Amino acid sequence: MPKISLPFGPYHPALGEPEYFQVVVDGENIVAVDFDLGYNYREMEKKVLNFIWDKATHFLGRICGICSSAHTQAFTLAVEKVNGMEVPPRAKWIRTFGAEIERISSHLLWLGLFGEMAGFEPLFYLSWGAREHALNILEKFGGRRVHYAYMAFGGVHQDLKPTPGMEAELRGLKQKYEEIREMVMASDLLADRFRGVGVVTPQQARDYGLVGPTARGSGVNNDIRKDMPYNSYEEHDFTVPIYKGGDSYARAMVRLDEIRESIRILEQIVNGLPKGKLTSVNSFTKSRLGEATQSVEAPRGENFHFVRAGELTPQFLRVRPPTFANLSVIPEMLKGRMVSDVPVVISSIDPCFACTDRVILIDRSDKSIREVQL
């Protein structure tokens, strides 16, 4: 039987964002996979060079609507390194609060979609219902449910005031989480559909440089919050979930356990938020000249920013989001699987193409290649 090439995307019901995957099958079995990036290209890294510092921070939060905090934190921390800024303890704790409630929101969004992909609609409804508690907490904290612009150079713009309403939302979130976990652990449907699908060995995870839940689901213990602590993570008691199955089910369980640990961190912050200033500087309009890098643990894994600072604006920015690191292993995960496993495997790494897309220009006259900034 001849091999057949099947297009998957760029517009497909299983993909929340446009991307193209070419799947080569021999009968029902996948023998090769290739993919093209660039369908969501927005030139963010280039455009930010035109903004003054405060506007640059707000702009970079628009790289992704789900991990807005991860991008603004990485950028802000890098610029603070260049300028030798100290951040007050209260501001560090508030930054951690924003990062962890964002992690919960992202994981619950993904968990609901993952359940729907298996035809397990109760998990979809319960996960998205629980996510409403997380979004309500974000709204009470920052005034909005997405693109919550609380980061400031040297601290934060917005204070965290744990009100009875916020504490009630946190209790509701914790209660819904326990219901979700009980449902997942009792479901044979989820286990049968996801176990053994999209397996990545620990050695493959290291060789491909995988990050986040994708790596930790293969037994690789890497988490920037522990490996290179920032904000107030050194002051909090939490564990990093590790599973050794290496399959889609293991990656789902990592995210499920991370929600529990993030709730623990939120409770510690609400109950022990230190007093003090919100920022160490009144305003930031001019920067020292210099370069710095910063990694933060976004919901999908390590989010890396390289910043070259000019005086009034950034001179250069390079963003390496976690999906950029994790996409390369997709062909290995799909080899030998059936076509019906393609949506499950791709979604198991929780890809964010808005963060990832790059564009390559090829000059037809001399075949030279030039990469375009995001």
Specify if 206 maps to a domain.
yes
pLDDT of 168-222, one tens digit each?
A: 999 999 999 999 999 999 888 888 889 999 999 999 999 999 999 999 999 999 9
More confident of the two residues 4 and 170? 170
Question: Is residue 42 situated within a structural domain?
Answer: no
The burial of 41, by beta-carbon neighbours within 10 Å (0-12 exposed, 13-18 middle, 19 or more buried), is given as middle
Does residue 53 lie in a domain region? no
Q: Which helix (H) or strand (E) holds 81?
A: helix 68-83
Decide if 134 contacts 101 (C-beta within 8 A): yes
Alpha helices per DSSP H over 187-282: 188-194, 202-207, 212-216, 224-227, 248-272
Structural domain boundaries enclosing 232: 86-280
In the block, tokens 């930054």 appear at: 95
Asked whether residue 6 is domain-assigned, the answer is no
pLDDT digits 0-9 by tens, 304-348? 999 999 999 999 999 999 998 999 999 999 998 988 888 889 889
29-36 and 20-26 beta bridge pairing: antiparallel
Into how many domains does the chain fold?
A: 1
CATH code of the domain containing 219 = 1.10.645.10
Please identify which residue in the block is written with the tokens 């409403």: 132
**Does the residue 49 lie in any domain?**
no
How large a percentage of the chain has pLDDT more than 90?
Answer: 62
Long-range CB contact pairs, 9-16, < 8 A, 24+: 9/39, 10/36, 10/39, 12/343, 14/117, 14/342, 14/343, 14/346, 14/347, 15/346, 16/113
Judged against a pLDDT cut of 90, whether residue 145 lies above it is answered with no
Question: Does residue 257 belong to any structural domain of this protein?
Answer: yes
Residue 208 lies in a domain: yes
